[in-house]
């Protein structure tokens, strides 16, 4: 067969993942002392939509969660990301090889319902990563709740995951607009270590807590789901995640050292 | 009931294949192939002769009426696959003629099967990886995709206005085989295979034999609706290039104005629509057609190997 025959139709490569996990492991353990609690709440088979809070100008939550869950469960994790990342040469391909998939309902549904995969999504999107440090652990708007619609349609549970430490890894002071679309975050890291050194996140302890899966009492594959159901579902997931974040942040004895 | 079939685009390799294939069916009495200009190219088992009025070739509608055609296969619609818009819009015009032949007063036509292409799904970073027939499509102005979609809409109008006609539209993936190459697959058969640095998208091909089989399937079952047709699986563009054994050539500046200048000097260029395919890929979900009982015999990978083999055979002749 050909050299990249291990690449699946989504662009994920088992071999690349294995290599990247090997490189990530010491960072995961040594730099971030990362831990994922409640891994047994992640379904051992079938599709599930993993929903987490998003933080940090360069969000380390995605790669760390994917690493932690893949290493512990042996199941691949696909991460939904903004389409603009796919447009970037090399970066888009790199993300795809590591399980990155452009976030849209079609892709999410196919991954969950037809392929039965674990899919990680950050419903806050860039609103989570671009918020300032004063907004730390305050969940931003959950898009339009589309992820709930996708989970209902696919008939899969939503598994909320509360992540702490990521807000302190790369705190954003303020953002500078660059044109109409893009805002550039000015981070503490960049102020202290310059534009290149600023790409390195602080070695804070990062913990993730997997919450009880949320299942929706609706049949899958309906033509439409009522806006009320979707909105309520999104609000419930968001509230559970926010409550857990509030509890965890207070409970952390030494916030970043651990 | 014995069927009488009219096939447009009979001068193209696809149309020829359809005429031959349908001509071999026991439930088909007559197959008439017409070319772009309405000339009758191939007729098997014709009982009635097409009206040969002096001075002009009959319109499609006249042919349909005089021969009692109950099934039209519009195989000419398949766009040029260059990705670039053409000014004479042959696909739309020929489709207009087919729509005219099928509609109007109640005629003999019961089944219409038309060939479209997955080109109606413009490649982009935002689009779903797997394109489905029910995707809301907003075509770009002045593109081959827009023309193909316009042609499809003409036929959907026929389906709406003439409920007794079942209209099936087949969106064929890029054809790739030993002889027939088009658009994307033709890029695999040149001196070097172009690729855009930093991208390695999944692409999909359809073997011409499977295209003909799919059309026959749609005719036999009188399929109504829109269906993607593609070979199983996907191939990464770089892998496809590797399989051809040809060198690769990076595309640096995908600018259409520059391309236009190059084309005037007969330098081969890759049109913008195809460059987006080389960046983001184009894969159609053929599940809907599969659920009607059709499965292609050649995978996407086999199609690529067929192109590689075919072009090598030609170059050593």
Mean pLDDT of B71-86: 65
Cβ contact B280–A86 (<8 Å): yes
Element (H, E) at B215: helix B208-221
Average pLDDT of chain B, as a whole number: 84
Cβ atoms of residues B173 and B231 within 8 Å: yes
Confidence of residue A2 (pLDDT cuts 50, 70, 90): very low
Element (H, E) at B176: none
Element (H, E) at A165: none
Cβ contact A4–B196 (<8 Å): no
Task: Flag whether pLDDT at B182 surpasses 50.
Answer: yes
Between B135 and B179, the higher pLDDT residue: B135
pLDDT of residue B85: 43
Query: Burial level of A30, CB count in 10 A (0-12/13-18/19+)?
Result: exposed
Mean pLDDT of A163-181: 87
| Alpha carbon separation from B58 to B11, B52, B63, B167, B183 (Å, rounded) | 17, 7, 6, 24, 32
How far, rounded to the nearest angstrom, does the alpha carbon of residue B2 sit from its chain's CA centroid? 27
DSSP string, A66-112: HHHHHHHH---EEEEE-HHHHHSTTHHHHHHHTTEEE--HHHHHIII
Least confident piece of the model among A129-133, B23-27, B239-243, B253-257: B253-257
Between B236 and B42, the higher pLDDT residue: B236
Task: Flag whether pLDDT at B44 surpasses 60.
Answer: yes
Confidence of residue A41 (pLDDT cuts 50, 70, 90): very high
Of B155, B173, B174, which Cα lies nearest the Cα of B165?
B155
Average pLDDT of chain A, as a whole number: 91
Helix (H, G, I), strand (E, B) or coil at B264: helix
pLDDT of residue A133: 87
Strands (E), chain A: 35-37, 48-52, 77-81, 100-102, 118-121, 158-164, 172-178, 182-187, 207-210
- What is the residue range of B138's domain? 3-315
Task: Flag whether pLDDT at B180 surpasses 80.
Answer: no
Dmax (CA) for chain B in angstroms is 61
Cβ atoms of residues A184 and A176 within 8 Å: yes
Of B207, B211, B234, which Cα lies nearest the Cα of B130?
B234
Task: Flag whether pLDDT at B51 surpasses 60.
Answer: no
Dihedral of alpha carbons A102, A203, A71, A136, sign: negative
Cβ contact A9–B280 (<8 Å): no
Percent of chain B clearing pLDDT 70 (strictly above): 83
Single pTM value for the model: 0.89
pLDDT of residue A47: 97
Mean pLDDT of B302-311: 86
pLDDT of residue B81: 47
Specify the number of domains making up chain B: 1
Among the partner residues A83, A89, A107, nearest to B198 by beta-carbon distance: A89
Token reading at B256 = 């259409």
Percent of chain A clearing pLDDT 90 (strictly above): 72
Range among A241-255, B59-73, B127-141, B210-224 rated most confident:
B210-224
Cβ atoms of residues A145 and A230 within 8 Å: yes
pLDDT of residue B140: 65
Among the partner residues A7, A11, A107, nearest to B128 by beta-carbon distance: A107
Cα–Cα distance measured from residue B182 to residue A8, given in angstroms and rounded to the nearest whole number: 26
Residues in chain A: 258
Residues of A with CB under 8 A from a CB of B: 2-5, 7, 9-11, 83-84, 86-93, 101-102, 104-107, 110
Token reading at A68 = 């932690």
Q: Which domains are seen in chain A, by residue range?
A: 14-250 (3.40.1130.10)
pLDDT, tens digit, 9 for 90 and up, residues B188-231: 887 889 999 999 999 999 999 999 999 999 999 999 999 999 99
Task: Flag whether pLDDT at A150 surpasses 90.
Answer: yes
Between B222 and B40, the higher pLDDT residue: B222
Cα–Cα distance measured from residue A152 to residue A174, given in angstroms and rounded to the nearest whole number: 37
pLDDT, tens digit, 9 for 90 and up, residues A50-59: 999 998 888 8
Element (H, E) at B276: helix B272-280
Q: Is the ipTM of this complex over 0.95?
A: no
Cα–Cα distance measured from residue B64 to residue B62, given in angstroms and rounded to the nearest whole number: 5
Confidence of residue B56 (pLDDT cuts 50, 70, 90): low
Task: Flag whether pLDDT at A86 surpasses 60.
Answer: yes
* B239, closest residue in chain A (CA to CA): A2
Mean pLDDT of A118-141: 89
Mean pLDDT of B265-276: 77
Contacts of A84 in chain B (CB under 8 A): 125
| Alpha carbon separation from B114 to A236, B8, B213, B223 (Å, rounded) | 48, 9, 14, 11
Confidence of residue B260 (pLDDT cuts 50, 70, 90): confident
Cα–Cα distance measured from residue A46 to residue A118, given in angstroms and rounded to the nearest whole number: 8
Residue carrying structure tokens 């929706």: A216
Of A10, A12, A92, A4, which Cα lies nearest the Cα of B125?
A92
Confidence of residue B82 (pLDDT cuts 50, 70, 90): very low
Mean pLDDT of A181-187: 83
CATH assignment at residue B310: 3.40.50.720
Cα–Cα distance measured from residue B135 to residue B270, given in angstroms and rounded to the nearest whole number: 26
């Amino acid at each position: 067969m050909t050299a990249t025959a291990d690449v699946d139709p989504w662009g994920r490569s088992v071999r690349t993942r294995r290599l990247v996990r090997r490189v990530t492991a010491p960072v995961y353990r040594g730099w971030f002392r990362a831990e994922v609690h409640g891994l047994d709440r992640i379904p051992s088979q079938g599709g599930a939509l993993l929903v987490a809070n998003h933080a940090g100008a360069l969000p380390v939550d995605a790669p760390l969660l994917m690493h932690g869950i893949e290493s512990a469960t042996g199941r691949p994790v696909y991460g939904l990301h903004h389409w603009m990342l796919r447009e970037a040469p090399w970066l888009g391909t790199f993300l795809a090889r590591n399980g990155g998939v452009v976030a849209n309902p079609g892709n999410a549904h196919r991954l969950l319902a037809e392929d039965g995969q674990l899919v990680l999504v950050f419903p806050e999107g860039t609103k989570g990563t671009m918020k300032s440090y004063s907004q730390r652990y305050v969940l931003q708007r959950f898009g339009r709740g589309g992820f709930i619609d996708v989970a209902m349609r696919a008939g899969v549970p939503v598994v909320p995951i509360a992540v702490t430490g990521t807000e302190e890894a790369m705190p954003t002071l303020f953002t500078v607009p660059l044109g109409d679309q893009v805002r550039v975050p000015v981070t503490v890291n960049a102020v202290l270590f310059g534009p290149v050194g600023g790409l390195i996140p602080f070695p804070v302890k990062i913990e993730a807590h997997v919450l009880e899966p949320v299942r929706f009492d609706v049949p899958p594959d309906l033509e439409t789901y009522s806006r009320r159901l979707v909105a309520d579902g999104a609000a419930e997931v968001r509230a559970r995640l926010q409550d857990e974040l509030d509890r965890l942040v207070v409970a952390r004895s030494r916030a970043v050292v651990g | 009931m014995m069927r009488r079939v009219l096939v447009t685009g009979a001068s193209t390799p696809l149309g020829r294949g359809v005429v031959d294939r349908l001509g071999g069916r026991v439930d088909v009495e007559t197959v008439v192939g017409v070319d772009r200009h309405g000339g009758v190219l191939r007729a098997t088992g014709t009982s009635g002769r097409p009206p040969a009025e002096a001075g002009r070739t009959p319109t499609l509608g006249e042919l349909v009426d005089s021969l009692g055609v109950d099934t039209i296969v519009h195989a000419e619609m398949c766009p040029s696959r260059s990705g670039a818009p053409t000014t004479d819009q042959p696909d739309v015009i020929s489709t207009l003629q087919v729509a005219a032949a099928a509609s109007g007063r109640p005629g003999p036509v019961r089944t219409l099967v038309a060939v479209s292409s997955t080109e109606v799904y413009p490649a982009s970073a935002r689009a779903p990886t797997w394109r489905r027939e029910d995707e809301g499509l907003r075509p770009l102005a002045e593109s081959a995709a827009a023309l193909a979609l316009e042609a499809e809409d003409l036929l959907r109008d026929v389906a709406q206005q003439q409920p007794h006609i079942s209209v099936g539209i087949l969106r064929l993936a890029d054809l790739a085989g030993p002889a027939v190459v088009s658009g994307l697959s033709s890029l695999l058969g040149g001196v070097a295979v172009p690729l855009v640095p930093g991208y390695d998208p999944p692409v999909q091909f359809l073997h011409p034999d499977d295209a003909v089989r799919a059309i026959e399937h749609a005719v036999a079952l009188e399929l109504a609706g829109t269906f993607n047709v593609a070979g199983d699986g996907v191939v990464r563009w770089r892998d496809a290039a590797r399989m051809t054994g040809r060198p690769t050539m990076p595309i640096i500046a995908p600018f259409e104005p520059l391309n236009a200048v190059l084309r005037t000097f007969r330098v081969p260029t890759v049109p913008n629509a195809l460059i987006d395919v080389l960046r983001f890929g184009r894969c159609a979900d053929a599940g809907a057609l599969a659920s009607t009982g059709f499965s292609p015999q050649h995978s996407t990978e086999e199609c690529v190997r067929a192109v590689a083999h075919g072009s090598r055979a030609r170059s050593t002749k």
